[in-house]
Amino acid sequence: MEINKRSLANSMKEYQLKNKEYYKGINRQLFDLIEPHVKTILEIGCAEGLLGAAVKEKTNCSYYGIESYPPAAEKATHYIDEVITGDIETLKLPFQKNTFDHIIFGDVLEHLEDPWAVLSNLKPYVKETGSILASIPNIGHISIFESLLSGKWTYTQAGLLDKTHLRFFTLQEIRKMFHETGYKINQIEPIPFTTDYYEKMISKLDHVRACMGIHYEDFEEEIRVYQYVIKAEKR
């Protein structure tokens, strides 16, 4: 296990405040994208390794993780093959090029200072037949519009306005980021969340958009999406 000591005390303060359940989740949408024949996977932000444990049962692959929060990384060592504790933005990776069938970012890219650089830097480690799997929250969700209409942009311990988020993306910006970093998105799965209240607001906002002559063909579809799950290959 390698420890990157770059300002860990400062960068970990907010993560230490999070509910312990924050590190225990399994992203089922990402899990379902993993093919049974894969041999090697790297997960960036592997938390306590529970996704990796589930994947290893499904595939019997070699599963590696990188995690910046040391207590979570320590727990992950019990479930996956190797854990590197450190900051993916500064780590020198010990892997050979063209190693991984998948590199996974489960709600991680929005936490990075420069996710564009990270995606570019990791590209050589993806096999020619491999892919990036990522889940990314949609800052264009209706709940954010509701907050702005109330004059609020209130950070929270988790969710779309998680206070550890450094970057915010809409679907258009997600597409742009992957294109600019040398990938081709070949699968996008929207994860919607809406309510009757939100549906009324969406209808009103779409009317305003049309009256103001703002062209946004997929407005009603995209504003319902809480998160996007992406599969992208090298191009």
* Long-range interactions of 30-35: CB distance < 8 A, separation 24+: 30/104, 30/106, 30/133, 30/134, 30/135, 30/229, 31/55, 31/58, 33/102, 33/133, 33/187, 33/229, 33/231, 34/58, 34/59, 34/102, 34/133, 35/59, 35/101
Residue 99 in domain: yes
pLDDT tens, the chain, 235 aa long:
343 444 444 445 565 655 555 556 789 999 999 988 999 999 999 999 999 999 999 999 999 999 999 999 999 999 999 999 999 999 999 999 999 999 999 999 999 999 999 999 999 999 999 999 999 999 999 999 999 999 999 999 999 999 999 999 999 999 999 999 999 999 999 999 999 999 999 999 999 999 999 999 999 999 999 999 999 999 9
Residue partners of 120: CB distance under 8 A and separation at least 6: 181, 182
Residue 85: per-residue pLDDT:
97
Q: Which residue has the tokens 């209808």?
A: 203
Residue 25: per-residue pLDDT:
74
**CATH number for 153:** 3.40.50.150
Residue 137 in domain: yes
Residue 14: per-residue pLDDT:
60
Q: What is 45-108 written as a DSSP string?
A: T-TTSHHHHHHHHHH--EEEEEESSHHHHHHHTTTSSEEEES-TTT----PPTT-EEEEEEES-
Q: What is the largest CA-CA distance in the chain?
A: 58
Residues 47, 67 contacting (CB under 8 angstroms): yes
Single-letter amino acid code for the residue at 184: K
Domain that holds residue 189: 8-194+224-234
Residues 107, 18 contacting (CB under 8 angstroms): no
- 3-class secondary structure, 175: helix
Residue 99: per-residue pLDDT:
97
Residue 26: per-residue pLDDT:
86
Residue 214 in domain: no
Residue 167 in domain: yes
Tens-place pLDDT, residues 222-233? 999 999 999 999
Tens-place pLDDT, residues 102-153? 999 999 999 999 999 999 999 999 999 999 999 999 999 999 999 999 999 9
Residue 126 in domain: yes
Strand-strand pairing, 225-234 and 40-44:
unpaired
Residue 204 in domain: no
Residue 113 in domain: yes
Phi, psi angles (nearest 5°) of residue 228: -115, 140
Residue 90 in domain: yes
Split into its structural domains, the chain has a count of 1
